[in-house]
Amino acid sequence: MAGRPGGAPAPRLKDVAQAAGVSVKTVSNVVNGFEHVADDTRQRVQRAIDALGYQPNMMARRLRSGRSGVIALAFPELPSPYFAELAVEVIQAARRHGCTVLMDDTAGDPGAELRIASGLGDPLIDGVILSPLGLDQAELAARSRPIPLVLLGEADFGLVCDHVHIDNVAAARTATRHLIDQGRRRIAAVGWQDPAPRATAQQRLLGYSQALRAAGLPVDPALFPPVGAYFRPDGARAMRELLALPEPPDAVFCFNDLMALGALRALHEAGVRVPDDIALAGFDDTEEAEYAVPSLTTVAPDKAGIAEAAVEALLDRIANGDDAPRRLVQPGFRLVERESSRRG
């Protein structure tokens, strides 16, 4: 029997069952992600598993079911707070279904994304959740190993596989409408890319433009300077460009929180008061947004809902095979109003 350091035997299903006060079969059902277990029982078993440090025998599980319970998760920018926070939600959702997650950071490299989308050639990986940045639709459709795959993110790859995302146009429209409702009339956008905008930039600029037009306000290209990437320095540079305009904006909608934090720094350095002189809003509701000074108004996607939908879609695909791919739009988002946009 395998043991722990110091010679202590590894905990078994029987030990977990005894600690949780349930049958061995119930523990097995929880470990294998079976649905028909009461939530309180599942939680009690999971607490016992965590307390004892029980590790399922992955080889035995694979021999019984033909599956390992291992899924892969890959993002293009894992250091980004949004992706890091979403990764935690995916791991927690997978754990609730008795799965283990292997993670990778592709840096948006098409070759790395394609290897992940093909399961890394590893037969132990049951399926993949991927947020692609460099791949195109044809490359995804022609991947070497048609492993179950669920996509995250805004890019439209057609229906080559299941795709989970929020309505970015509606979310951007909501954030811009909020700034208009605060009495702002010259509203800039930070996040446009030229000449090759990401789907994120296209969709969020569309929502921003729709809100302006609905309010009878002009869409002025001078108010959305292009950025190279979606990090703090990009937001700071764009904000400095906007402040240098003959008529600077009185509000700015940034397409993610990182750029908004960079913009906030540039405003502070220029002696511009937020929100008195310029209101500011971001997108993603990362933890940094809540603790910025002033705290940042931002769009909060339902990260837990996105993660659960992605994991459930992947497990359904693993179990049921070649059903038609689905587009699973998660409309769950809300605007979190904080100090950066509210007067008084």
User: What pLDDT is stored for residue 1 in this prediction?
Assistant: 40
Cα 61 from chain centroid? Answer: 30
13, 46, 118, 199, 320 from 161: Cα distances, Å: 36, 32, 12, 18, 14
Q: Count how many Cα atoms sit within 13 Å of the Cα of residue 75 in the half-sphere of its side chain.
A: 17
Q: Which residues contact 9 (CB under 8 A, 6 or more apart)?
A: 1, 2, 3
Residue 121 has a pLDDT of 72
Instruction: Return the bridge partners of 281, or none.
Output: 253, 297
CA gap 141, 149 in Å, rounded: 11
Is 249:278 a contact under the CB 8 Å cutoff?
Answer: yes
Q: Cα–Cα distance between 116 and 120 in angstroms, integer?
A: 5
Q: How many other CB atoms sit within 10 Å of the CB of residue 110?
A: 14
Q: What number of CA atoms fall less than 13 Å from residue 252's CA on the CB side?
A: 39
Give Dmax over CA atoms of the chain in angstroms.
76
Residues of the chain with CATH 3.40.50.2300: 67-166+302-331, 168-301
Q: What is the DSSP string of 93-155?
A: HHHHTT-EEEEEE-TT-HHHHHHHHTGGG-TTEEEEEE--SS--HHHHHT-SS---EEEESS-
Tokens in use for 38? 């009461």
Q: How far apart are CA 150 and CA 309, in angstroms?
A: 10
pLDDT of residue 25: 82
Residue listed under structure tokens 């809100």? 211
What is the fold, at CATH topology level, of the domain defined by 168-301?
A: Rossmann fold (3.40.50)
What is the C-alpha separation between 144 and 159, in angstroms, rounded? 18
Q: Which residues of the chain have pLDDT under 70?
A: 1-8, 32-35, 56-67, 144-145, 322, 329-331, 344
Q: How many CA atoms lie within 13 A of 259 on its CB side?
A: 28
Q: Give me the pLDDT at residue 306, please.
A: 94
Query: Which residue's entry shows tokens 């607490």?
Result: 47
**Sheet bearing 162-165, strands edge to edge:** 100-105, 70-75, 125-130, 149-152, 162-165, 327-329
Give the pLDDT of residue 170: 95
Residue 56's pLDDT is 67
Closest CA to 99 of 150, 143, 170, 138: 150
Enter the pTM of the model: 0.80
Q: Report the topology of domain 67-166+302-331.
A: Rossmann fold (3.40.50)
Give the number of other CB atoms < 10 A from CB of residue 315: 23
Strands 149-152 and 333-336, sheet pairing: unpaired
Token representation of residue 154: 């805004």
Between the alpha carbon of residue 319 and those of residues 34, 65, 272, the distances in Å are: 12, 10, 56
**Tokens matching residue 305:** 């809902």
